[in-house]
């Protein structure tokens, strides 16, 4: 229906509807620009919101997994340091035993002095094995068996288990007391200490292999985290350049809409001029 009407202003209604839509779009654009997000709630993009939440969960998981891996490396480095000290002590003990085994040139007092130092070093092994801990958890007393969560999901590939054998003197040298007071005893001590050196080296190698594995996993986690965060940003974050251009266009439309609505509102008054 066309023409000039007094009771119904179709042009003004159409202008108002268009202005209302423009204002709603402009409000949404302002919200996106001010927050930096194109998906602020599920209403903005239901499917995108679901995907975004999944990506955010995964990114957060990777972030914590990286931190977990760093903690794991710290644990293993602590164990490695203590095992290194034990290896040094055992090397000294081997030297003492080898010296004491040279009975043809060693006096009883010399062997006794070597035995005193040997016993002291044995006590140091026990002190290191019992006092080495991380966060209150003993590492070298044979009880340590830890599982590290180095991935964002509860699955086997995202977990690394590490067990560390006991490094106490009894575990390394046997429960029978060793003595350097005699040549025969010193020779037996040589064999025991040399075997212990091999045992500590094996334990350290196992710990080192686990440390290298976790370090490699951590590097991969960092790459995965960056990719996931990038995907999340592309989905959720607002394109500022594009949205600024859209904002400018909507401002112009709103200003034009206000002007047209004001003019359309005057149309019924034109109809009155036709009245006699």
Report residue 91's pLDDT band, with 50, 70 and 90 as the boundaries. very high
Predicted pLDDT of residue 6 = 62
pLDDT band at 139 (very low <50, low <70, confident <90, very high): very high
Mean pLDDT calculated for residue range 156-176: 93
For the segment 61-90, the average pLDDT, to the nearest whole number, is 95
pLDDT of residue 31: 65
pLDDT in tens, 173-191: 988 889 999 999 999 999 9
Matching residue, tokens 């209604």: 13
Please check the confidence at residue 1 and state whether its pLDDT lies above 50.
no
Handedness of CA 131, 135, 136, 137 (dihedral sign): negative
Percent of the chain with pLDDT over 70: 84
CB atoms within 10 A of CB 238: 20
CB 83 within 8 A of CB 132: no
How do beta strands 159-163 and 145-149 pair?
A: antiparallel
**Average pLDDT value for the chain:** 85
Higher-pLDDT residue of 217, 6: 217
Q: Which two tokens stand for residue 45?
A: 């993009």
**Taking the domains of the chain in order of start, what are their residue ranges?**
10-38+240-272, 64-236
Q: What is the mean pLDDT of residues 195-214?
A: 96
Torsion angle, CA of 177/183/187/193, rounded to 10 degrees? 50
pLDDT of residue 266: 72
Q: Which pLDDT value is given to residue 51?
A: 85
Q: Is the domain defined by 64-236 classed in CATH 2.40.480.10?
A: no
Q: Average pLDDT in the 213-234 region?
A: 88
* pLDDT for 2 beyond 60: no
SS (H, E, C) 104-167: CCCCHHHHHHHHHHHHHHHHHHHHHHHHCEECCEECCCCCCEEEEECCCCCCHHHEEEEECCCC
Q: What is the pTM of this model?
A: 0.72
Q: In 3-state terms, the chain is what percent helix, strand and coil (to 5)?
A: 70, 5, 20
pLDDT at residue 253 in the model: 75
Q: Which residue has the tokens 């903005």?
A: 44
- Band of residue 229 on the pLDDT scale cut at 50, 70, 90: confident
Predicted confidence at residue 33, as pLDDT, reads: 65
C-alpha closest to that of 195 among 178, 176, 179, 174: 174
pLDDT tens digits for range 21-75: 877 666 676 766 666 666 676 777 788 888 888 888 888 999 999 999 999 999 9
């Amino acid at each position: 229906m066309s023409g000039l009407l007094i009771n119904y202003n179709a042009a003004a209604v159409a202008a108002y509807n268009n202005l209302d839509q423009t204002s709603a779009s402009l409000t949404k654009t302002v919200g996106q620009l001010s927050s930096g997000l194109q998906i602020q709630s599920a209403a903005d993009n239901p499917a995108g919101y679901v995907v975004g939440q999944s990506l955010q969960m995964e990114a957060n998981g990777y972030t914590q997994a990286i931190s977990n891996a760093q903690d794991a490396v710290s644990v293993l480095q602590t164990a490695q340091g203590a095992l290194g000290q034990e290896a040094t002590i055992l090397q000294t003990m081997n030297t003492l035993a080898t010296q004491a085994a040279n009975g043809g040139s060693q006096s009883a007092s010399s062997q006794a002095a070597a035995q005193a130092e040997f016993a002291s070093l044995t006590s140091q092994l026990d002190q290191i094995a019992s006092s080495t801990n991380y966060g209150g958890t003993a590492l070298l007393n044979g009880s340590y068996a830890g599982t590290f969560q180095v991935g964002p999901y509860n699955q086997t590939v995202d977990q690394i288990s590490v067990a560390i054998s006991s490094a106490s003197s009894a575990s390394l040298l046997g429960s029978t007391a060793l003595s350097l007071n005699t040549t025969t005893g010193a020779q037996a001590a040589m064999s025991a200490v040399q075997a212990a050196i091999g045992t500590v080296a094996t334990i350290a190698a196992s710990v080192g292999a686990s440390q290298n594995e976790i370090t490699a996993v951590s590097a991969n986690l960092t790459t995965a985290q960056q990719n996931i965060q990038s995907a999340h940003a592309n989905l959720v974050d607002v394109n500022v350049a594009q949205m600024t251009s859209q904002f400018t266009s909507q401002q112009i439309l709103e200003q034009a809409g206000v002007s047209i609505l004001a003019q359309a509102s005057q149309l019924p008054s034109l109809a009155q001029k036709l009245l006699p």
